[in-house]
Amino acid sequence: MADSNRSPAFRSSHEPIPEVVGAFEREHEQTYGHRPRGAPVELVSLRLRASAPRPRPALRAGARAARLVGPREVWFGDRRYTAPVVTRAMLGVTGASGPLLVEEYDTVIVVPPGARASLDDQSNVHVMVDAAGNWCVHDGSHRERARDNRSRDGVDDRSRGLRGHPARRAPSNSA
């Protein structure tokens, strides 16, 4: 590899690695139909991609105090529940079981009955339901599927909102 004055970023007087020269000659032959054996090779550009695991920084608990906001009525299927409303800081790593609402300044996380919410070491909220997507009614008397005409956000198939009032729908534009 010839030492070039074109780029001050990296200069080397070392000869090129034989594998790099061989790869260049093969590519040159495939592209142009001949192999430039023995011709000087100048490495003009080199790209390197590297990765290494980094330790995850420990996050401090937010400045927002752990406080109980108050209960709200929520609907899951045909049943109405009174769910406590808590902040993220109240969950901790031990977590809490649903029905539960985790209220933040920009969202509300709905934890259905039988599911469990907890925080990881980065303060991410994890809501655990079983592998089939089922949630269990509090008293364990029966199970319902969250995906059978119901969503996991506390709004059932009759379009009732989180407080049990009928949800408003935008008029449809169907002709």
Q: What is the mean pLDDT of residues 53-65?
A: 66
Is the predicted pLDDT of residue 137 greater than 70, yes or no?
Answer: no
Q: Which pLDDT band, with edges at 50, 70 and 90, does 168 fall under?
A: low
Residue 99 vs residue 48, higher pLDDT: 99
Residue 101: its pLDDT value, please? 92
Q: What is the pLDDT of residue 67?
A: 60
Cα–Cα distance between 128 and 140 in angstroms, integer? Answer: 17
Give the C-alpha separation, 9 to 6, whole Å: 9
pTM: 0.43
Confidence of residue 155 (pLDDT cuts 50, 70, 90): very low
pLDDT at 157 (0 to 100): 44
Closest by Cα among 36, 16, 18, 17 to 26: 36
State the average pLDDT for the chain: 71
